[in-house]
């Protein structure tokens, strides 16, 4: 009888230990799962905060640069409507993002000089170059095709400041990528053949048009001036 009782007692103890162990393991697993889920949620929230902060930073930089562009415009032309000024500034900012070798200061410096310090969308040069970035109609039609803009007529496209900046920035970026900054400016003003000869001959100004000799340092001076202004 004693042996039977002892066996039953031992079996009962074993069963009890198994049950207790199972409950302990289940409790630990539940706590571990809960902690793991909480940790995952914290990481998710941290990532969300990082994304929000990044968005805020981008918006802050964009607004700062747009206001800087508008300040340049206001120095030369206060007759533009506030909506048009903002749209022009936004397009210049977008072009500086699209083309890594352009920044807002360089685009602004080019426009200021090309438009004879007027920032007037309908300005026309004696040679027939049109708009803010002074694009010749034949060049504009070629650039419009590359940009995917339907070419209606030269005034519709080149007097539209948004289109003009888009085409001019594409052209200037391409030339700078081919001939460097000063060479690109030389090509933009005086043509690629002259710019190429100028560079091949150690930047000997005798290979440039007289106008281009003054154009390059004038634009670069404006560029440096705009970069210094906060």
Total domains present in the chain? 1
User: Looking at the DSSP assignment, which residues form a beta bridge with residue 124?
Assistant: 130
pLDDT of res. 229: 78
CA distance 177 to 104: 17
| pLDDT band per the 50, 70, 90 thresholds, residue 142 | very high
> pLDDT at residue 184 above 80?
yes
Rounded to 5 degrees, what are φ and ψ at 173?
-60, -45
| Residue reference for tokens 């560029």 | 223
> pLDDT at residue 44 above 60?
yes
Domain containing residue 38: CATH number: 1.10.530.10
Largest CA distance in the chain: 124
Mean pLDDT of the chain: 87
pTM for the whole structure: 0.77
> pLDDT at residue 10 above 70?
no
Pairwise pLDDT comparison (195 vs 50), residue with the higher score: 195
pLDDT of res. 114: 98
Residues 87-133 have pLDDT tens digits of 999 999 999 999 999 999 999 999 999 999 999 999 999 999 999 99
Residues 17-26 have pLDDT tens digits of 554 455 455 5
Which residues constitute the domain of residue 104? Answer: 2-228
Q: CB 72: neighbour CB atoms within 10 A?
A: 23
Percentage of residues of the chain with pLDDT beyond 90: 73
For every residue of the chain, which 3-state class applies, written as one string? Answer: CHHHHHHHHHHHHHHHHHHHHHHHHHHHHHHHHHHHHHHHHHHHHHHHHHHHHHHHHHHHHHHHHHHHHHHHHHHHCCCCCHHHHHHHHHHHHHHHHHCCCCCHHHHHHHHHHHCCCCCCCCCECCCCCECCCCECHHHHHHHHHHHCCCCCCHHHHHCCHHHHHHHHHHHHHHHHHHHHHHHHHHHHHHCHHHHHHHHHCCCCHHHCCHHHHHHHHHHHHHHHHHHHCC
CA distance 176 to 216: 13
pLDDT of res. 2: 46
Residues 52-77 have pLDDT tens digits of 655 556 689 999 999 999 999 999 99
């Amino acid at each position: 009888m004693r042996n039977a009782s002892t066996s039953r007692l031992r079996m009962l103890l074993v069963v009890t230990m198994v049950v207790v162990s199972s409950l302990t393991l289940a409790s630990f697993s539940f706590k571990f799962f809960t902690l793991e889920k909480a940790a995952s949620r914290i990481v998710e929230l941290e990532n969300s905060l990082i994304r929000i902060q990044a968005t805020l930073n981008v918006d802050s930089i964009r607004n700062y640069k747009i206001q800087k562009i508008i300040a340049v415009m206001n120095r030369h032309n206060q007759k533009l409507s506030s909506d048009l000024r903002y749209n022009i500034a936004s397009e210049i900012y977008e072009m500086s993002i699209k083309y890594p070798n352009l920044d807002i200061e360089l685009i602004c410096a080019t426009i200021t000089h090309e438009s004879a310090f007027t920032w007037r969308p309908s300005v026309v040069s004696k040679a027939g170059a049109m708009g803010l970035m002074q694009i010749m109609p034949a060049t504009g039609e070629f650039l419009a095709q590359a940009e995917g803009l339907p070419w209606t007529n030269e005034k519709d496209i080149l007097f539209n400041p948004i289109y003009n900046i888009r085409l001019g920035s594409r052209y200037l970026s391409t030339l700078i990528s081919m001939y460097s900054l000063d060479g690109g400016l030389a090509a933009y003003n005086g043509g690629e053949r002259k710019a190429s000869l100028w560079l091949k001959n150690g930047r000997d100004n005798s290979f440039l048009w007289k106008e281009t000799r003054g154009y390059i340092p004038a634009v670069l001076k404006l560029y440096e001036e705009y970069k210094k202004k906060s």
